[in-house]
Amino acid sequence: MKVAVLDVKGKETGRKVDLSDAVYKIEPNNHAIYLDVKQYMAHQRQGTHKAKERAEIVGSTRKIKKQKGTGTARAGSIKSPIFRGGGRIFGPRPKDYTQKLNKNLKRLARKSALSLKNQDKAIMVVEDFNFDSPKTKEFVQVLKSLGLENKKSLFVLGDSNNNVYLSSRNLKGYEVVTNSELSTYKILNANQIVLLEGSIEGIESNLIK
């Protein structure tokens, strides 16, 4: 699949790159996508939720009223869950939410997500660029030139580029990742995928085994 390469001003450079059909034109597997996105969302949870139960409450162990003769139910401790300030019944406890998926399924999910974006014509290839220093203003100018203003976009770099990353960090709706950080969730969460020319080889080597 041949795709034209654009420069940072949004103009065609006259060059084309070949995107592998084995990555960008497969039959999408919706179940693989579901499992990979589910795992990604689960891994965002810290699992540190905790509420004190009856045995963990600090308080007096004195019997708060006599056993009989009050006309009300028996009560032996102020730490009982039925009293204000008492422990919680079956409260949340710390939990590990990590899930295991095999590598082939995760590769299939990412290829499926990229194929869906390709079907929607939501993938563009831009020649590699860099900034002399981190400047959000310069990154905004690139977005304007590419017609990506107010359009949630994911930029995929070949190698880590601190200046480009820091220039985009203040902007809501735009994310910069390297090809090794590409995930199914991030692909689907963006309206437009911008592949820098240097990232294509890394993406395909990661996904074609």
The pLDDT of residue 1 is 85
Tell me the torsion sign for CA atoms 142, 148, 153, 158.
negative
Span 93-117, average pLDDT: 96
Rg (alpha carbons) of the chain, rounded to whole number: 27
Residue 209 pLDDT greater than 80, yes or no:
no
CA angle 111, 195, 15 (to 5 degrees): 115
Given a cut of 80, is residue 23 above it in pLDDT?
yes
Mean pLDDT of 188-207: 93
pLDDT at 176: 95
Cα 42 off chain centre by: 10
Nearest to 159 by CA among 114, 118, 129: 129
Q: Which residues does residue 175 pair with via DSSP β-bridges, in sequence order?
A: 154
Helix (H) or strand (E) holding 175: strand 174-178
Alpha helices in 51-183 (DSSP H): 103-119, 136-146, 162-168
Whether the predicted pLDDT of 88 surpasses 80: yes
Q: How confident is the model at residue 13 (pLDDT cuts 50, 70, 90)?
A: confident
What do you get for the CA distance between the two ends of the chain, in Å?
19
Instruction: Answer whether residue 76 shows pLDDT above 90.
Output: no
**Hey, what domains does the chain have and what are their CATH numbers?**
2-45+101-207 (3.40.1370.10), 56-96 (no CATH)
Average pLDDT, the chain: 93
Note the pLDDT tens digit of each residue in 53-68: 999 999 888 898 999 9
User: Using one digit for the tens of pLDDT, what is the confidence trace for 117-172?
Assistant: 999 999 999 999 999 899 999 999 999 999 998 899 999 998 889 999 999 999 99
pTM (2 d.p.): 0.84
